[in-house]
Structure 1
Amino acid sequence: MTIEKHRNKSHTAIASRKGKYATSTENRRLMWEHIVWPLVLKINRNYFTPQEYHERRDQVSREKNIPITKMAGGMVSLLVKGIILQDGKYYSIHYKLIPYMRKRAQLDYETVLKEIRSKK
């Protein structure tokens, strides 16, 4: 293998790794800003049922022409990050986000990350 081919191969591997993480972040942001947070504000409580989530997800999927599979990955990623918690029959938001819900604030994904990572 020539040096040039090796460089291109290495660069491609790094780019695909970076793309994977960027895609995960994009999916989490999509889920949070278009589905989870608007749903929480609409129902005005810090938890929601899978049925409520599915109804909202399907509505957004139709309106924005986004595949449900892409959104499902975003929801799993929010669970893994600890932004959303699953307890039996319900999903709930992280407890540090409840004051924002009470104020009915628009809460973007970056603020969510800062809040749940803070040591207040």
Structure 2
Amino acid sequence: MLSEKGKYASATQNRRWVWSEIIWPLVLEVNDVSFTLKQFQNKRKKICQEQNVSINVPSRGLVSLMQKGILLKEGEIYSIHYRLIPYMRLKAECDYSTAIHEVRIK
């Protein structure tokens, strides 16, 4: 994940990676709109080991996804934006661009 990109491009790359490799697969795995910090940490550890990625990358990506409103946090529980629930119910692919588009629709 090391790159010569600028700060903002790098943050977007982190968000995209965390969403597609960790968060969305985890949501489909638990088949629920929410997951715990522990579930995220376990999934993150597994994916980072498999892909040989620093564990710091997904941590920044998680915070970034919350800032974008794709993820919401209440205590130790994270949940997806309500507009993403139909994708989860259908077990549909929901890439980062779809997620950000859905969240930004008023």
TM-score by length of 1: 0.83
Partner of 1:112: 99
How far off its partner does 1:19 sit? 1.1
Query: Does 1 or 2 have the higher relative contact order (CA < 8 Å, sep 6+)?
Result: 2
| Residue 116 (structure 1) shift | 0.5
Match 1:82 to one of 69, 74, 91: 69
> How many Å apart are 1:58 and its aligned residue?
0.1
1:92 paired residue number: 79
Q: Which runs of 5 or more structure 1 residues have no equivalent in the other structure?
A: 1-15
**Which runs of 5 or more structure 2 residues have no equivalent in the other structure?**
none
Q: How many residue pairs end up in the alignment?
A: 103
What SS does the corresponding residue of 2:92 show, helix, strand or coil?
Answer: coil
- Match in the other structure for 1:59: 46
User: After the TM superposition, which residues 9-88 of structure 1 pair with which residues of structure 2 at under 5 Å, given as runs?
Assistant: 19-88=6-75
The TM-score with structure 2 as length reference comes to 0.94
Q: CA deviation at 1:88?
A: 1.3
Which runs of at least 4 in structure 1 moved beyond 6 Å after TM superposition?
none
Match of 1:103 in 2: 90
RMSD value, Cα: 1.2
Looking at secondary structure, tell me which structure has more helix per residue: 1
Aligned to 1:11: none
User: Matched residue of 1:58: which SS?
Assistant: helix
